[in-house]
Structure 1
Amino acid sequence: MVHHVGRTWPHGPRQLVSTLAWLRICAIGGQTLTIAFVARVLDLSIPVAALCSAIGLLAAFSLLAFWRLRQNARIGAWEPVAHIAIDTLVLGYLLYLTGGASNPFISLLVMPITLAATALPLRSVTLVAVLSVGTYLLLMRFHVPLPEVSDINSAGGFNLHLTGMAISFAITAGMLGFFIARLARALRAQQALAELERERALRDEGILAIATQAASTAHELNTPLSTIRTLLGELGREHASNPALNDDIALLIGQAERCRDILKELVKVGSNPLAGLAEWISVADLCEAARDSFGLLRPEAEASFSIDAEIGARRIAVVPALHHAVVNLLNNAADASIANGDSRIEVTVSGSQDTLQLDVRDFGSGMNANVRPTAGLRFGTTKANGLGLGLALANATAERFGGTLVAMAAVDGGTRQRLRLPLATLDNPRHER
C-alpha cells in the first residue's frame, strides 16, 4: 500500500506535524487505490471492509490533525511522535491484514524513522525506531496470509510480489533522496548563516575596539587642537597685513574648528545612546544636516538630493550614529565618483508607511559583483588611502535599527547603496536592536 510522499520540510514539531498531515492524505489516497486494484483488478480475496475501516480511521485522524494545525497553540515535541505512532500502527494493521512481513510494502516502516530523524531529538527518534522495529517483528509472527496468486505469477504474466517490491523500493528511494537532499540544503543554509553571523561579530568587535581607541584619542587630541587654534589666531593677528597668508590661516583655523567639532560629535555619539537621547527632526532636516556636514568634508563633490515630500516631512528620532551613517555613505560615494573622474552623487529619499529608504548612487567604476553581497560586513577597501570603516559603520548602524544596507549595480554605471530603516524603530530609538 502506497504511503508517504513529501511536501514540506520539517524544521521543528509544528513543521513536522504539517508534513505528516499532508503525507497522510497521500497515504490514504495511495492505500485506497491499492486496495481497489488488488480487490477489483487482480480479484484477490482480501478483507476489504477491515482495510477500509482502518483507512477511514486514518482519514478521521487526518482531519483532526489539520484542525490542530489551524490552532495557534504551541505544538510540543511529543505530538509528532504521537502522530508517527498512529501512522505506524495503522500501517502495521493494514500490513497485518495483507500478508505481514511478506507484504512487499513492509519496507515503508522505515519512513517514520527518516521523518523523525530530520526534526526530533534522539530520544524521540529512538522511540519511533523501537516502534517501527517492534511492528516489523510482530508482523513476522502474526499476520493474515495473502491468497495464492499462482495464475498471475505464471510465465505469461508478471510476478506480483516482485512488482510490489519494485514499487516499494521506488517510494523508499524517492523519499530518502528527497529528505536527504532537503536536509543537505538546510545544512548549507545554516552554515552560510553562521558564517554571516561570524563576520558580523568580527566586524562589531572591530568597531568596539576602534570606538575604545577613538575615545582615548579624542581625549588626547583636544589639548593640542586648542593649542593649534590659539597659535593660529596669534599668527593671524601678527600677519594681518598679508591677505594671502591670512586666507591660509583662516582656512587652517576653520579646519581646526572642524576637528574640534568632530571630537565633540564623537563624544556625543557615545553619550546620547547611554542617556537615551535623540533629536526629533524631519527626514528632510536630517538630509540637510548630512548635506552640510558632507559639504564641509568634501567641497569638491556635488551631491544632489531628491526627497519625497511626504516622507521628507516625516519626523523621526535621530541619534548621531544615524547622521554619521548617512555622511559615511555620501563620503564613500564621493570617493568612487571622483576616482572615476566624476564628482556627482545622487541621493534619493523615499519610503512607505513603515519604511524609510535612502539610495546613494555614485558614478564610479562599479563594485565587483562578488563583493556586493558582503559589503559592509568586514573592514575592507579598494581605495589607496581608505581605512575600510565607512561601509562597515553604516551597515552596523542599519542593523542596530533593524534595517538593511544593500549594494547594487546602478543602471547607467556606478553603485547604488540602499539604506532601509523601519520607521517604528526610528519613532522609538530606545527599541533599537
Structure 2
Amino acid sequence: MPATHATQIAFFQRARGLVETLAWLRLCAIAGQTATIVVVTRLLRLPVPVVPLMLGVGALVTFAVFAFWRLTLPRPVSLAEGFAHVSVDILVLTYLLYWTGGVENPFVTLLVIPMALAAAALSMRYVAAVAVLASICFALLVPWHQPLPPLHVARIAEADLREIAIAVNFVVIAGVLAFFSARLANALRAREAEVRRQRESTLRNEGILAIATQAAGTAHELNTPLSTIRTLLGELQRERGNDTALAGDLALLVGQAERCRDILRKLVAVGNRGLNDLPEQLTLAAFVEACGDQIRLLRPEIALRIAFTGNAGEQVIAAAPDLGHALVNLLSNAGDASQAAGSAAVELRISVDGGDAVFAVRDHGSGVVPRLGAGFRTGKQHGLGLGLALAHSTAERLGGGLAAHTAEDGGLVQRLRVPLLGNDNSAP
C-alpha cells in the first residue's frame, strides 16, 4: 500500500534529521582523526602511513562540504539519500581502518555508530542495508589490512597504549550514543504527545460532526411544525385580535416564531456557504458588531464593553459562520462566570498580531482556567459543555487556536486567534 502524504513528510523529516546529525558528527570525526594523526606521528613518532590517511580525511572533508551545501537546498532529503550519507561514512572509516590495523585497531567498533543512527531514522530495509554494508566492511578488514607498527614508545608500554585507545574509543561511542539516544527519546515523546493531541482533536471533531448532523436533521424536521405554528398564530390573531389580554401574548408568540424561522433560514444559508466553501468577508469592526448585537439580544443582562487596538477594526477577516458562534459562546461563558462572582461586566478587546486577529474575552469571575480540548465538559450546573469545545474546534479548523490564562487583577482571559484574510493560513 503506498505511503500517505503525511507518512512521506515524516520520512523526509527523519532523513533530513539524520543527514544533519551526520554532517555535524562528520566535522567532529574530521577533527578527531586529524588530531589523532598529529599525536601519533608527532608525539608518539609511530611510523603510520600519513599520506593515505590524510587522503581519507581529505575525502571526508570534501563530502562534509557537499553535505552542508546539500542541506541548503529546498529539495526534501529522501531515505535513499540518508542511506547514501551513512554509506559514505562507513566506507571512509573502513578505508582509514585498513591503513591502521583493520580489526586489530581498537577504534574498529566505531562502525557501530552509523548503524545506530540509521536505525533511529531510516526504514527497516535501509537499516538492514546499512547493517549488511557495515558487516561486509568489518569482514573484509579481517584478512585485508595494513598491520599496525609497534605501539610501544618511550615510557609507554604497548599494552598500556592499547588500553588508552580502547578507553578513548569507549568514551567516544558512549558519548555519541547517549547524546543521540536522549535526542531520539525526546523526539519520540514529542511525537507521542502530538499523536495524543491529534487523537483528542479527532474525537472532539467527530463528536461535533455528529451534533452538527443531528442539528441539521432537526432543523429540517422543525420547518414543517414551525410553518404550522405560524399559520395557526396568524389565524388566532385574526380571530382574537380584539381580545386585549390575549393580543400581547399572541404578538410575542408570533415574534418568537418569526425568530425561529430566521434562525432556520440562517442555518440553511450557513450550510450552503459551507458547502460552497465561501465564507463571508467582513471587517473586524463589522464582524464584532454583529456578534455584539447577537450577545446583547441573547444576554441583555451582560454589560459588554468592546475595544479595538490600533486599526484592528479595519482589517478584513474570512468570517466563517461558526467563528461568530465561537465568539458568542465565549462571551456568553464569560458572562456566566462574571455573574457567578456578582458582576455583569465582560470585556472584548480585538487586536492584530502578525497575520492573525486576536479576540481577548475577559470576565470577572473566579479565574479558573478551563481544560481546552478535553471533551464536552462544563463547570456550570445547567451547561452542556459544548460552547468551549466548539470554540476550540472552530479555532483549530480555521488555522488558529484558543488559549486561556488568569488575569493579573482577577478573572479569566480567553484569547481566540484566527488568521486574517490573505494570510497563508487563513480559511479560503
Q: TM-score, normalised on structure 1?
A: 0.87
Which whole-Å CA distance do the structure 2 matches of 1:334 and 1:194 have between them?
35
Aligned to 2:185: 184
Instruction: Confirm whether residue 378 of structure 1 aligns to residue 375 of structure 2.
Output: yes
CA contact (8 A) 2:316 2:421 kept: no
Aligned to 2:419: 422
- Structure 1 counterpart of 2:415, which letter? R
Which whole-Å CA distance do the structure 1 matches of 2:68 and 2:425 have between them?
40
Secondary structure in 2 aligned to 1:141?
Answer: coil
Change (3 A) 1:285 1:309: farther
Q: How far off is 1:251 after superposition?
A: 5.5
Secondary structure in 2 aligned to 1:80?
Answer: helix
Q: How far off is 1:305 after superposition?
A: 0.4
Secondary structure in 2 aligned to 1:159?
Answer: helix
Secondary structure in 2 aligned to 1:350?
Answer: strand
Which whole-Å CA distance do the structure 1 matches of 2:345 and 2:77 have between them?
56
Offset from partner CA, 1:384-407 (integer Å, 9 cap, x none): 111111112112222222111222
Which whole-Å CA distance do the structure 2 matches of 1:15 and 1:258 have between them?
58
- Structure 1 counterpart of 2:393, which letter? A
Aligned to 2:42: 40
Q: How far off is 1:28 after superposition?
A: 0.5
CA contact (8 A) 1:354 1:422 kept: yes
Aligned to 1:172: 173
Which whole-Å CA distance do the structure 2 matches of 1:427 and 1:278 have between them?
16
Secondary structure in 2 aligned to 1:217?
Answer: helix
Offset from partner CA, 1:361-414 (integer Å, 9 cap, x none): 11111234xx54xx1452111111111111121122222221112222222222
Change (3 A) 1:158 1:25: same
Matched ranges for 1:215-226 at <5 A? 215-225=216-226
CA contact (8 A) 2:302 2:344 kept: yes
Which whole-Å CA distance do the structure 1 matches of 2:84 and 2:278 have between them?
53
CA contact (8 A) 1:282 1:312 kept: yes
Secondary structure in 1 aligned to 2:350?
Answer: strand
Which whole-Å CA distance do the structure 2 matches of 1:102 and 1:317 have between them?
70
Change (3 A) 1:303 1:246: farther
Secondary structure in 1 aligned to 2:351?
Answer: strand
Which whole-Å CA distance do the structure 1 matches of 2:309 and 2:416 have between them?
15
Q: How far off is 1:130 after superposition?
A: 1.3
CA contact (8 A) 1:376 1:394 kept: no
What is the percent sequence identity of the aligned residues?
50
Change (3 A) 1:60 1:317: closer
Matched ranges for 1:264-343 at <5 A? 264-343=265-344
Which whole-Å CA distance do the structure 2 matches of 1:316 and 1:133 have between them?
61
Change (3 A) 1:238 1:188: farther
Aligned to 1:6: none
Aligned to 1:127: 129
Which whole-Å CA distance do the structure 1 matches of 2:242 and 2:224 have between them?
23
Aligned to 1:399: 396
User: Which of 101, 111, 115 is the equivalent residue of 2:103?
Assistant: 101
Aligned to 1:349: 350
Offset from partner CA, 1:321-373 (integer Å, 9 cap, x none): 222121111111111111222211110101146221111111111234xx54x
CA contact (8 A) 2:395 2:401 kept: yes
CA contact (8 A) 1:398 1:421 kept: yes
Which whole-Å CA distance do the structure 1 matches of 2:424 and 2:142 have between them?
68
- Structure 1 counterpart of 2:60, which letter? L
Aligned to 1:263: 264
Change (3 A) 1:169 1:426: closer
Aligned to 1:59: 61
CA contact (8 A) 2:405 2:412 kept: yes
Offset from partner CA, 1:168-213 (integer Å, 9 cap, x none): 1111112222222222222211111111111111111111111121
Secondary structure in 1 aligned to 2:317?
Answer: strand
Secondary structure in 2 aligned to 1:72?
Answer: coil
Q: What is the aligned length? A: 414
User: Which moves more between the two structures, 218-227 or 287-296?
Assistant: 218-227
- Structure 2 counterpart of 1:188, which letter? R
Instruction: Confirm whether residue 92 of structure 1 aligns to residue 94 of structure 2.
Output: yes
Offset from partner CA, 1:286-325 (integer Å, 9 cap, x none): 1111011001111111110001352212233423222212
- Structure 1 counterpart of 2:410, which letter? G
- Structure 1 counterpart of 2:350, which letter? V
Which whole-Å CA distance do the structure 2 matches of 1:213 and 1:377 have between them?
22
Instruction: Confirm whether residue 210 of structure 1 aligns to residue 211 of structure 2.
Output: yes
User: Which of 119, 138, 141 is the equivalent residue of 2:140?
Assistant: 138
CA contact (8 A) 1:376 1:392 kept: yes
Which whole-Å CA distance do the structure 1 matches of 2:247 and 2:381 have between them?
33
Secondary structure in 1 aligned to 2:368?
Answer: coil
* TM-align CA RMSD: 2.7
User: Which moves more between the two structures, 313-322 or 24-33?
Assistant: 313-322
User: Which moves more between the two structures, 191-200 or 249-258?
Assistant: 249-258
